Copies of this chain bind each other. A is one copy, B any other.
Amino acid sequence: MYSVGVDYGTNSVRALVVDIASGEEIATAVFDYPSGEAGILLDPADPNVARQNPADYIEGFYKSVAQAVGDAANTKLFAADKVVGIGVDTTGSTPIPVNREGAALALLDPFRDNLAAHAWLWKDHSSHAEAEDITRAASAGGFPYLAKCGGTYSSEWYWSKILHCMRTAPEVAEAAYSWVELADFIPAFVTGNTNPDCLARCICAAGHKAMYHTEWDGLPSAAFLDGLEPGLSRFRYATVAVPSNQSAGELSADVAGRVGLPAGIPVAVGAFDAHMGAVGSGCGEGILVKILGTSSCDCMPAPMTAKLPDIPGLCGIVPESIIPGMYGLEAGQSAVGDIFNWFVKHLAPGGDTDQGAAHERLTADAARLKPGESGLVALDWNNGNRTVLVDPLLTGLIVGQTLHTTSAEIYRALIEATAFGALTIINRFSEYGVDVQQVINCGGIAEKNPLVMQIYADICNRPMRISRSAQTCALGAAIFGSVVAGAYPNVAAAQAKMTGVKDLIYDPIGENVAVYQELYRIYRALHDAFGLESTSRPLSHVMKDLIAIRQRVRKGLIDV
């Protein structure tokens, strides 16, 4: 029996056909979104805008699934009628305005050329003022809604985007009957569900991005929403948000015909890519999955036997958002690979044929250094700090430079900084009683850079394991497909058969651990001095003051 996982990334969609008995990946196909720049619709007047064309998502499902199923058919044992389930994961929060029939407004006249009517991609930051409004309103009004997402609402999230649309593109907001997360839009579309009032809303998106929680009445109250903007409460949905072990419906005959599958296959409720990636990597109680890419997403489920305390600084604590029946804990670092890429792009001395070659050369040179040898320590905040400080207005720092400091020493210090950031997250879990017994890494950096993994092992003082699959998000989606098919009683049972780690495990090296424990104390001293706001910390405003000056100068308020 087989399951199909469909993974909607930022620039493309991938379909994966998986043997559910073994987790063997039979066939895969990728479809690049054709619209805009690498699939993203930009606005020359506002660099914060990042939208997508819903038509790309639909065509992407047809093309990628059809090709993967077609390729799978080259495998002796495969047959289309052996596909028992489908799962879908997507980026998010990526809400799409739809009409009463569930159709994306962007696909209809007169909205085809209206950017506000398209999908609002997760990394669209045009709603930063609205995010601040929401944080202020929740805080000032004494509402509990931010307790589960670290205390600060983000411009990347559901309500910020809808609010910004109401204020800047009222014609779209008025025409919208509802806003549907991409993670819910795809399962609804492929199951032929055209009623926005009845389509399955996933707990993953609702809980992490829309302030949905059973401790209050699901979504924030109508009074709260209308207090932000009269009419905003119209976009509250009344349905109960559900986890991905539930079925969103069955593959419609129309869609089935286009992708070469039989109609009627159950389709799991969607979820975000990182969460299904964690499942595909083998997360479980005490097992943290780190998805290492340009940034990091750290996911771990925790048992619901006891009420979990709110953990300060965690992006999200949402029941059932990763594995049904467990709390889903999400943390992350705002930049990991992005910091290494920044260094190579702006500061790596020449002679390399391309940036990949520069990474290889710097990695080789950095690998020859001993921990502590450079005398450098850096903070990994070039893109702010998501966990545990939850502060986008923090910036990078490096200390210890001499006249002999080399580029490889700095490159290694930046790697170490991201590892110290990773350890800070693990420690925060532990401080609140959630013990991290095992770490499984996935993503490009984890697979390609043994130096990074060894440094993470030495600094976190824990073995670093690597997910066996290189397509953990799509694999996680396929796992949920197998569960809604009834092939497994629950996610853990499916994971036991379908996931695994590579044989190569990076074990901590004792001598390195000892040096890094000393360096971590220095990292924490810097972390606290620059990151914790306090009148008794004279440096706690340095980074924000610099940003304030920068913004003022750039806006030309000072005519220098």
Interface stretch among A7-15, A176-184, A366-374, A435-443? A366-374
Distance in angstroms between the alpha carbons of A370 and B558 in the assembled complex: 10
Q: Are B395 and A542 in contact (CB under 8 A)?
A: no
Q: Are A538 and B546 in contact (CB under 8 A)?
A: no
Question: Of B350, B373, B525, B546, which one neighbours A542 at CB under 8 angstroms?
Answer: B525
Q: Which residues of B contact A339 (CB under 8 A)?
A: 403
Q: Does A397 touch B at the CB level, under 8 Å?
A: yes
Q: Which residues of B contact A377 (CB under 8 A)?
A: 542, 546
Question: Of B396, B529, B558, which one neighbours A401 at CB under 8 angstroms?
Answer: B396
CB distance from A459 to the nearest CB of B (A): 13
CB distance from A250 to the nearest CB of B (A): 44
Distance in angstroms between the alpha carbons of A351 and B352 in the assembled complex: 10
Q: Are A346 and B349 in contact (CB under 8 A)?
A: yes
Question: Of B401, B511, B512, B543, which one neighbours A382 at CB under 8 angstroms?
Answer: B401
Distance in angstroms between the alpha carbons of A559 and B511 in the assembled complex: 7
Distance in angstroms between the alpha carbons of A514 and B553 in the assembled complex: 11
Q: Are A553 and B399 in contact (CB under 8 A)?
A: no
Distance in angstroms between the alpha carbons of A545 and B542 in the assembled complex: 22
Question: Of B342, B347, B553, which one neighbours A347 at CB under 8 angstroms?
Answer: B347
Question: Of B351, B538, B547, which one neighbours A375 at CB under 8 angstroms?
Answer: B547
Chain A stretch 385-419: residues in CB contact (< 8 A) with chain B: 395-407, 410
CB distance from A114 to the nearest CB of B (A): 30
CB distance from A305 to the nearest CB of B (A): 39
- Report if A347-B546 is in contact (Cβ < 8 Å); known contacts: A372-B552, A553-B371: no
Q: Are B560 and A371 in contact (CB under 8 A)?
A: yes
Q: Which residues of B contact A519 (CB under 8 A)?
A: 546, 549
Q: Are A525 and B549 in contact (CB under 8 A)?
A: no
Q: Are A545 and B518 in contact (CB under 8 A)?
A: yes
Show 17 A/B contacts (Cβ-Cβ < 8 Å), sorted by A.
Answer: A335-B403, A342-B405, A347-B347, A347-B349, A347-B410, A349-B350, A350-B350, A370-B560, A371-B553, A374-B550, A375-B546, A375-B549, A395-B402, A399-B543, A514-B558, A526-B539, A539-B539
